[in-house]
């Protein structure tokens, strides 16, 4: 069901002001942590909550923090991932715009937990407004002594820096993000070493998503136990789902994990527009396999969605109605992945282009029947053979559309035109 | 090293812990194709051609990994089972190859890489024989049908982006290993391009290596391309003739002509990354200036003659001199890049046939050294580290050395230590040097204040008790005595004299005391310094105080010099030493093969030889492979002196300034035209092989002197370089090596490295230098891509990097004197003047000018005087 | 010198905040882009000088990231999201409409120098599709009336 934990104050226009935030008990968690808790205790509490990363991969946050070597003489860094570039996803933006102190406080607590003296928030370059909201909040926090030197007289120092990107989806991937933060092109790094051991400036670094870190102050405030009771046993807490596409009420909704997809699409989203029939749902951003209408009751938690053959991903739920050309969907996303491939590894760099070229040929009416098998084989030659998951992601929409909507491809190839014509909003 | 066991393709294999699966496989002859991997670079796992299937033990089960893994970046672990040819692997590999080829032009017949192309080879071995790619190939030029997109991206590198397979070896090499930023990748994804920066070129000192690192024909060599196909050339191993690092190289020869030089990896020296000087520095061999016949002075003109005529004149003249002045009337000066076989033969000729010990190579020194003997003896155990040891150090203290330009390969190891183990680099020089691109600290001290700087540091450490008493081994009274003796070197004075701020001095001192292992490196600036010995002793003090005297990653290195400087004195090119650096007392053994040699007293050194010429005590002089008229730091004096010689023989490759003064000029062959050996600064003896026929009638010096010996009834009977090697091989102390052919591929390393004795702290004295009262101090050194004289400037490719001499001046000075870059300026003092274009160099101290010492047109020796310790000049805008 | 002293100062200030100055490349490029409107080779050299890194580092980063135009564009750079969520909501038609009323092709500048239209990937505004970004501002939930008004307002502003 809808459960406003992160979104508790999202509608208060004054929430971004630090005084408002403080008046509602804000920064109390940070104070508590700095004054009463050891870093290990904080990690323990977060582990107890069972919270898993909200950036896409769903890795347990507390566990990730505990990988940071304690005895390393190098400085440690916290990086908050606000790159938010996965098509269909725009949840972190809402948090940064409307409750930036929730992000700042979560970052500060997490930084303390891993022993970092610097915390960065990497925000995609196009997010000018969210970045300015974050900058303002950070400035205020410095002024009030929640950041900077000797925070609240505890001797803990923390510098917090907003870093904006330059337009590159791949910079959401943590190692590319770190390269980008170092001023390099956003190409990825091979793992191991993992960032927790060798990350920013070759020092131990934790990268977490904005939504993940926003939960941290609430976990401290209410206890890991409290958090772990929300959601399902293995998928604890809430998640923000970004509902987009052919629904009446698109928007960002915070749901308790385990809530059925149908509740989001029909009850909150008001169902498909123009009374059309539901055709396909992408449940977790463009990199997740498509679900069919009959799967609409799938509970939205990591395990159930996986069981349904897809992934919870980044929470971007994209709804498509009957007048959607699935070959067009594939080609649109193929273009995206080709454009965003960092170019480091061969299968993704060359494969995404080959796939796009082939789809372009098909949609230009020059396809051949063999192209379908060729596409599947190219997918096979990319999948699992790349440095980072972008390659794996790139093949998902192609495979998924071929598997579920093969006749549309065949029709296109035979007749040089789509089986289903796109009928979308028109401006002319 | 811990050993681990794993299985590859069912074969049980042992390897060291920490190695990758790929390394384990390659070591055991199991072939896995690679493109982006290179042992000198960090693996990035980019190309994916090396994918393998892995299972590893968990509990008592062997669990397959969910995905294929890149063998180049996966650590081999105990019990692992690896498949390199399973169905999955073969499919993946073919897939990767297909992806690579999809956008590759496959224009092999017109590609310069054809015949030595890893992509071509891998495709033959692992590829599909058909292509499914029907889309348009990616093109970086507008002409869709042409693959020719030649773009010259540096003086010697041409890029064809269409062929690039994005392995990023080139850019990683440049950035990771060379610490340079003159090549990068631009744009994104399939459209990523390899380019130099805007407005720039790839022109770093190691730039030619990118061509060898490129696994396809995307980067090719301007100098080599389209001249000859690789399968037609013969590859012959050689050793670089320039600096004292001793890179191993390969010569590509076709029809008796050298077409290129490539690396010939010696892991303990060059790691396959020679500098461009070695790579392109062969071109002098075929230069039109090469002397092809002997010449003899007739009516004040040098005219060509036969060998017989030339040698006869020499023979007669020697006899005449010996008759009138005794054998001491004959002297010989040699250059430092001749072979050991040359030196051995020359030494034997002068000592045993003529009976003179006046042989020397130290043409660069103006005056005798103050400490003389003592330090010189120690000099032998000075360089007790190997190049590879540098990797283990965690700090470098580089003083008075333009290491980058003097010993490029040693500099690369310093950089490697920085890259892979974060070693600190402290640079202290009287002018900026290019190694500053990677330095943690660079301090520019006032020229010639080294003694203040070093003794000041020693004193500071002693005074503030910064040293670790366990390491330093200093007693309190010793420390007290030292402080008393060095009272003039107080903190304030030192800071004033050196121009280095007190805080910086203290930081330097602290870093020296804190690091575990520091290596002290000094170079040419110290070698030619009027106070060389006090400097070396102070370095000794510093090393001792900080516990760095001995150990396998600490010590003192005195570098610089040329390709065979070390061979020069190891093979007796000093007035007081016999081959293998034996003193006269140990002459017995030698006498048994050489016959009688004069060992009653040492001969004259360079300084005395020149004096004796002026005193008319020496009238017959040999200058062998040495352009003394140009090298000696006092042009007027050397020219006057040499013209006083009654008879002068010059042997060289070119008609040098010295040769022009000669009575007989003998054309000598280059080291490409004979077998031979060099000893690099580490003391490693390495063999080079004859790769082309002698140019014209030229001969190597050993052959000339062997011939000459027959005229004196002392037939050496040296028919080949190996004949000579056999003679001295027993002295090398390694029984198994009695013939050149037995020299190991990576050189003959002498094991004996002597530890420094603990001599206690030795206070040194500062001696005020003599100099003219003029505003600017003239410093010199190698210009970019050049080394020494006469050779590198006769290589077109190296001139493509820097062709013209210049005088570098500070920007403020330029502004004050309204000099813009390129204006002609003159440096002048009572010795003479030189004129060249101005080059404006920020960070050069205002009272210093720098002149590259490589160009014949601008002789730095013109403004030098042997009577002044420091050459000061004034500057005039022309 | 194309960069203003304010820009250079801002870049230096940014560089001082990071543990390593190379990290300031993206912030510095952002500053350069906002002052000049697009990026080009000589500008990379200036940026490099300002923050004390090499032109290679600046240029290879700059050309990797696609947010900064590398050619002169109109005063208002209109970036239309063409990705999936916007596409489902008529992005294609939105772009066509813009090109038609402005009478330009993609990437071109209108005669008055005011507008350039380009297609971009998802801008993180999917729940408010279709959308476009004009310089730094997001315009969301677009329909024809809104687009007309936005263009008119911008024209008026000049
Ligand atoms: C291609 C790609 C794009 C990604 N984009 C984002 C992103 O925009 N935001 C994000 O938080 N994580 C993104 N991730 C996931 C990150 O790599 C990383 O796992 C995440 O930031 C970790 O945070 P979490 O554990 O809190 O989820 C992306 C991953 C990939 C492979
Ligand atoms: S999979 Fe794509 S994005 Fe990821 S490293 Fe490879 S080329 Fe770059
Ligand atoms: S130019 Fe050659 S070395 Fe460089 S990335 Fe391309 S293929 Fe690799
Ligand atoms: S000059 Fe020195 S570094 Fe360069 S190739 Fe020759 S030996 Fe090697
Ligand atoms: S050689 Fe291993 S990925 Fe290229
Ligand atoms: S798809 Fe257009 S903003 Fe995300």
Query: Is the minimum distance from the CB of C80 to ligand 6 under 6 angstroms?
Result: no
* Residue range C2-39, pLDDT digits in tens: 999 999 999 999 999 999 999 999 999 999 999 999 99
* Residue range B384-442, pLDDT digits in tens: 899 999 999 999 999 999 999 999 999 999 999 999 999 999 999 999 999 999 999 99
Neighbours of A136 (CB within 10 A): 16
pLDDT above 90 for A120: yes
Mutation target to probe the A interface, by most A beta carbons within 10 A, among C63, C77, C127, C148 is C127
pLDDT of res. B435: 98
Please indicate, yes or no, whether residues A82 and A149 belong to a single structural domain of this protein: yes
Please indicate, yes or no, whether residues A68 and A123 belong to a single structural domain of this protein: yes
The answer to whether residue A11 sits within a structural domain is: no
Please indicate, yes or no, whether residues A182 and A66 belong to a single structural domain of this protein: yes
What ligand is nearest to the CA atom of residue B671?
A: 4
Enumerate the β-bridge partners of residue B688. Answer: B676
Domain interval for residue A373? 326-415
pLDDT of res. C1: 84
Q: Is A358 on the interface with B (CB under 8 A)?
A: yes
Q: Is A200 on the interface with B (CB under 8 A)?
A: no
pLDDT of res. B145: 59
Q: What integer is the mean pLDDT of B486-507? A: 96
pLDDT of res. B57: 96
pLDDT above 80 for B752: no
- Identify the three-state secondary structure at position B209: helix
| Domain boundaries C5-64, corresponding CATH code | 1.10.10
CATH code, domain carrying A393: 1.20.1440.230
Kindly tell me the burial class for residue B281, based on how many C-beta atoms sit within 10 Å of its own C-beta (0-12, 13-18, 19 or more).
Answer: buried
pLDDT of res. B143: 60
- What six digits make up the tokens of A393? 């992601």
Topology of the domain covering C76-157: Glutaredoxin (3.40.30)
Chain A residue numbers touching C90 (CB-CB < 8 A): 424-427
Q: Which atom of ligand 5 is nearest to the CA of B72?
A: 2
* Residue range A324-371, pLDDT digits in tens: 999 999 999 999 999 999 999 999 999 999 999 999 999 999 999 999
Q: Do B47 and A345 touch (CB under 8 A)?
A: yes
* Residue range B301-323, pLDDT digits in tens: 999 999 999 999 999 999 999 99
Q: With DSSP H G I counted as helix, E B as strand and the rest as coil, what are the percentages for chain C, rounded to 5?
A: 55, 10, 35
Please indicate, yes or no, whether residues A262 and A225 belong to a single structural domain of this protein: no
For chain C, give every domain's residue range.
5-64, 76-157
Residue B151 DSSP symbol = E
pLDDT above 50 for B373: no
- Tally the domains of chain A: 3
Q: How far apart, in whole angstroms, are the C-alpha atoms of residue A331 and residue A352?
A: 11
Q: Please enumerate in sequence order all residues whose Cβ is within 8 A of that of A370, keeping only pairs 6 or more positions apart, or say none.
A: none
CA dihedral B444, B448, B450, B453 (to 10 degrees): -60
Please tell me the residue having the least CA distance from ligand 1 atom 22. Answer: A208
Regarding beta strands A118-123 and A77-82, do their DSSP bridges make them parallel or antiparallel, or are they unpaired? parallel
- Please determine whether the domains at C5-64 and C76-157 fall in the same fold group of CATH: no
Please indicate, yes or no, whether residues A96 and A131 belong to a single structural domain of this protein: yes
Angstrom distances, CA of residue B440 to CA of B395, B418, B430, B518: 10, 10, 17, 14
Angstrom distances, CA of residue B107 to CA of B68, B110, B870: 32, 6, 60
The whole-angstrom distance between A88's CA and the closest CA on chain C is 5
Query: Is the minimum distance from the CB of A57 to ligand 1 under 6 angstroms?
Result: yes
Q: Is B108 left (phi over 0), alpha (psi -120 to 50) or beta?
A: alpha
CB B528 within 8 A of CB B565: no
Please indicate, yes or no, whether residues A66 and A22 belong to a single structural domain of this protein: yes
CATH code, domain carrying A194: 3.40.50.11540
Please indicate, yes or no, whether residues A288 and A355 belong to a single structural domain of this protein: no
- Quick one: closest CA in C to A93, which residue? C124
Domain termination site, one of A289, A306, A321: A321
pLDDT bucket at B151, cuts 50 / 70 / 90: very high
Mutation target to probe the B interface, by most B beta carbons within 10 A, among C58, C63, C67 is C63
Q: Please enumerate in sequence order all residues whose Cβ is within 8 A of that of B354, keeping only pairs 6 or more positions apart, or say none.
A: B318, B322, B327, B330
Please tell me the residue having the least CA distance from ligand 3 atom 2. Answer: B214
C-alpha A392 to ligand 2 mean position (Å): 9
Domain termination site, one of A177, A207, A229: A229
The answer to whether residue A6 sits within a structural domain is: no
The answer to whether residue A428 sits within a structural domain is: no
CB A122 within 8 A of CB C62: no
- Identify the three-state secondary structure at position B307: helix
Structural domains in chain B, CATH included, are 3-99 (3.10.20.740), 291-328 (no CATH), 385-558 (3.40.228.10), 776-877 (2.40.40.20)
pLDDT bucket at A1, cuts 50 / 70 / 90: confident
Q: Which of A149, A151, A172, A147 is nearest to A160 (CA)?
A: A147
Domain termination site, one of A321, A343, A376: A321
| Chain C residues whose C-beta sits inside 8 Å of any chain B C-beta | 41-42, 44-45, 54-57, 59-60, 63-64, 66
Q: What integer is the mean pLDDT of A256-285? A: 97
* Residue range B695-738, pLDDT digits in tens: 999 999 999 999 999 999 888 999 999 999 999 999 888 888 99
Q: How far apart, in whole angstroms, are the C-alpha atoms of residue A108 and residue A130?
A: 18
Facing B189 at nearest CB: one of A343, A358, A374: A343
Q: What integer is the mean pLDDT of B509-536? A: 94
Helix crossing, B701-711 with B307-325: angle to 10°?
60
Neighbours of A54 (CB within 10 A): 28
Average pLDDT across chain C, whole number: 97
Q: What integer is the mean pLDDT of A407-413? A: 98
What ligand is nearest to the CA atom of residue C126?
A: 6
């Amino acid at each position: 069901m809808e459960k406003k934990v992160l979104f508790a104050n999202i509608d208060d226009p004054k929430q971004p002001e630090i005084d408002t935030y403080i008046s509602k008990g804000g920064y109390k968690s940070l104070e508590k942590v700095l004054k009463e808790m050891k870093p290990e205790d904080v990690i323990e509490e977060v582990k107890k909550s069972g919270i898993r990363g909200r950036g896409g991969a769903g890795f347990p946050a507390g566990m990730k923090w505990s990988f940071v070597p304690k005895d390393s003489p190098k400085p440690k860094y916290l990086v908050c991932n606000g790159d938010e570039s996965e098509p269909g996803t725009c949840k972190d933006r809402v948090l940064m715009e409307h409750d930036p102190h929730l992000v700042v406080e979560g970052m500060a607590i997490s930084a303390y937990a891993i022993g970092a003296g610097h915390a960065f928030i990497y925000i995609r370059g196009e997010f000018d407004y969210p970045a300015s909201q974050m900058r303002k909040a950070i400035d205020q926090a410095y002024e009030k002594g929640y950041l900077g030197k000797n925070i609240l007289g505890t001797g803990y120092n923390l510098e917090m820096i907003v870093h904006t990107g330059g337009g590159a989806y791949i910079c959401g991937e943590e190692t590319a993000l770190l390269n980008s933060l170092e001023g390099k092109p956003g190409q990825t790094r091979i793992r191991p070493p993992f960032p927790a051991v060798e990350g920013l400036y070759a020092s131990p670094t934790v990268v977490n998503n904005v939504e993940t870190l926003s939960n941290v102050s609430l976990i401290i405030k209410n206890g890991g136990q409290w958090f772990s009771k929300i959601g399902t046993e293995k998928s604890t807490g809430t998640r923000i789902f970004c509902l987009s596409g052919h629904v009446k009420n698109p928007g960002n909704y915070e749901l308790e994990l385990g809530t059925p997809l149908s509740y989001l699409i029909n009850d909150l989203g008001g169902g498909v527009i123009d009374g059309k029939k539901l055709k396909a749902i992408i449940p977790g951003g463009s990199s997740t396999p498509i679900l069919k209408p009959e799967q609409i009751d799938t509970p939205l938690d990591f395990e159930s969605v996986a069981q349904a053959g897809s992934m919870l991903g980044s929470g971007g739920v994209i709804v498509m109605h009957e007048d959607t050309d699935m070959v067009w969907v594939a080609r649109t996303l193929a273009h995206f992945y080709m454009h965003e491939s960092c170019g480091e590894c061969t299968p993704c760099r060359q494969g995404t282009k080959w796939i796009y070229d082939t789809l372009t040929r098909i949609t230009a009416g020059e396809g051949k029947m063999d192209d379908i098998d060729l596409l599947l084989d190219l997918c096979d030659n990319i999948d699992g053979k790349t440095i980072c998951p972008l390659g794996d992601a790139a093949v998902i929409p192609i495979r998924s559309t071929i598997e579920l909507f093969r006749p549309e491809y065949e029709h296109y190839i035979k007749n040089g035109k789509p089986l289903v014509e796109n009928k979308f909003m028109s401006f002319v | 090293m811990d050993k681990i066991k794993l299985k590859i393709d069912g074969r049980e294999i042992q390897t060291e812990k920490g190695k990758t699966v790929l390394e384990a496989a390659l070591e055991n002859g199991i072939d896995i194709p690679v493109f982006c991997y290179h042992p000198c670079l960090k693996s990035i796992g980019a190309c994916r051609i090396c994918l393998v299937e892995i299972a590893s033990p968990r509990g008592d089960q062997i669990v397959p990994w969910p995905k294929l893994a890149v063998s180049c970046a996966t650590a081999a672990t105990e019990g692992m089972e690896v498949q390199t040819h399973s169905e999955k692997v073969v499919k993946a590999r073919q897939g990767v190859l297909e992806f690579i080829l999809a956008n590759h032009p496959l224009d092999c017949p017109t590609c310069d890489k054809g015949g030595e192309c890893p992509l071509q080879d891998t495709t033959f071995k692992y590829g599909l024989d058909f292509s499914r790619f029907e889309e348009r190939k990616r093109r970086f030029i507008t002409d869709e049908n042409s693959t020719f997109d030649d773009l010259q991206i540096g003086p010697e590198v041409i890029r064809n982006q269409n062929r690039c397979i994005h392995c990023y070896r080139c850019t990683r090499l440049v950035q990771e290993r060379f610490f340079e930023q003159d090549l990068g990748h631009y744009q994104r994804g399939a459209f990523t391009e390899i380019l130099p920066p805007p407005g720039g070129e790839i022109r770093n000192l190691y730039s030619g290596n990118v061509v060898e690192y490129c696994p396809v024909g995307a980067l090719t060599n301007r100098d080599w391309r389209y001249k000859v196909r690789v399968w037609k050339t013969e590859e012959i191993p050689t050793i670089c003739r320039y600096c004292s690092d001793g890179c191993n190289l390969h010569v590509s020869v076709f029809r008796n002509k050298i077409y290129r030089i490539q690396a010939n990896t010696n892991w303990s020296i060059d790691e396959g990354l020679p500098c461009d000087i070695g790579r392109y520095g062969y071109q002098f061999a075929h230069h039109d200036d090469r002397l092809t016949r002997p010449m003899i002075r007739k009516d004040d003109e040098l005219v060509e003659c036969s060998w017989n005529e030339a040698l006869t004149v020499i023979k007669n003249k020697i006899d005449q001199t010996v008759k009138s002045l005794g054998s001491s009337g004959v002297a010989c000066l040699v250059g430092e890049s001749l072979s050991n076989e040359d030196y051995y033969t020359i030494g034997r000729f002068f000592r045993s046939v003529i009976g003179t010990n006046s042989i020397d190579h130290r043409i660069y020194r103006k005056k005798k050294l103050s400490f003389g003997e003592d330090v010189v003896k120690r000099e032998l155990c000075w360089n007790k580290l190997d190049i590879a040891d540098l990797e283990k150090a965690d700090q470098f203290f580089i003083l008075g050395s333009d290491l980058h330009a003097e010993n490029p390969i040693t500099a690369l190891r310093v950089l490697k230590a920085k890259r892979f183990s974060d070693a600190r680099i402290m640079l202290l020089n009287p002018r900026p040097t290019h190694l500053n691109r990677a330095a943690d600290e660079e301090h520019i001290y006032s020229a010639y204040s080294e003694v203040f700087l070093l003794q000041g540091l020693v004193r500071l450490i002693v005074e503030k008790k910064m040293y670790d008493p366990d390491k330093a081994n200093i007693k309190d009274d010793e420390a007290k005595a030292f402080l008393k003796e060095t009272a003039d070197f107080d903190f304030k004075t030192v800071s004033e004299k050196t121009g280095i701020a007190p805080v910086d001095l203290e930081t330097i001192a602290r870093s020296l005391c804190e690091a575990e292992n520091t290596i002290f490196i000094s170079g040419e600036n110290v070698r030619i310094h009027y106070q060389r010995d006090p400097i070396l002793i102070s370095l000794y003090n510093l090393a001792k105080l900080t516990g760095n005297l001995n150990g396998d990653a600490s010590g003192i290195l005195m570098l610089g010099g040329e390709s065979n400087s070390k061979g020069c004195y190891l093979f007796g090119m000093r007035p007081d030493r016999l081959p293998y650096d034996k003193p006269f007392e140990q002459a017995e053994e030698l006498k048994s093969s050489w016959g009688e040699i004069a060992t009653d007293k040492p001969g004259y050194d360079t300084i005395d030889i020149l004096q004796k010429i002026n005193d008319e005590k020496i009238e017959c002089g040999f200058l062998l492979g040495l352009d003394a008229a140009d090298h000696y730091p006092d042009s007027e004096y050397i020219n006057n002196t040499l013209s006083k010689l009654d008879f002068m023989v010059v042997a060289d490759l070119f008609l040098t300034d010295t040769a022009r003064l000669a009575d007989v000029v003998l054309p000598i062959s280059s080291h490409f035209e004979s077998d031979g050996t060099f000893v690099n600064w580490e003391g490693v003896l390495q063999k080079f092989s004859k790769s082309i026929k002698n140019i014209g009638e030229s001969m190597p010096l050993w052959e000339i002197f062997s011939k000459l010996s027959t005229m004196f009834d002392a037939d050496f009977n040296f028919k080949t370089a190996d004949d000579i090697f056999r003679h001295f091989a027993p002295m090398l102390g390694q029984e198994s090596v009695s013939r050149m052919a037995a020299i190991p591929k990576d050189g003959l390393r002498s094991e004996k490295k002597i530890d420094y004795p603990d001599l206690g702290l030795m206070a040194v004295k500062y001696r005020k230098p003599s100099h003219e009262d003029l505003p600017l101090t003239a410093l010199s050194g190698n210009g970019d891509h050049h080394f020494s004289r006469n050779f590198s400037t006769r290589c077109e490719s190296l001139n493509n990097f820097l062709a013209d001499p210049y005088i570098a001046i500070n920007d403020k000075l330029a502004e004050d004197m309204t000099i813009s870059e390129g204006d002609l300026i003159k440096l002048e003092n009572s010795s003479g003047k030189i004129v060249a274009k101005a080059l404006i160099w920020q960070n050069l101290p205002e009272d210093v000018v720098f002149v590259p010492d490589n160009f014949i047109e601008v002789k730095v020796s013109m403004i030098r005087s042997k009577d002044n310790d420091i050459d000061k000049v004034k500057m005039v805008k022309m | 010198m194309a960069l203003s002293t304010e820009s250079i100062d801002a870049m230096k200030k940014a560089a001082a905040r990071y543990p390593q100055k190379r990290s300031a490349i993206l912030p510095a490029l952002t500053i350069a882009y906002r002052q000049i409107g697009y990026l080009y080779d000589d500008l990379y050299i200036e940026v490099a000088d300002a923050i004390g890194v090499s032109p290679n580092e600046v240029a290879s980063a700059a050309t990797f990231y696609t947010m900064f135009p590398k050619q002169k564009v109109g005063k208002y750079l209109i970036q239309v999201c063409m990705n999936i969520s916007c596409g489902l909501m008529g992005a294609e038609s939105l772009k066509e409409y813009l090109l038609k009323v402005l009478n330009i092709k993609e990437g071109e500048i209108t005669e008055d120098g005011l507008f350039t239209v380009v297609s971009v990937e998802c801008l993180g505004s999917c729940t408010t599709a279709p959308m476009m970004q004009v310089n730094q501002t997001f315009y969301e939930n677009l329909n024809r009336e809104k687009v007309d008004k936005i263009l008119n307002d911008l024209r008026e502003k000049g």
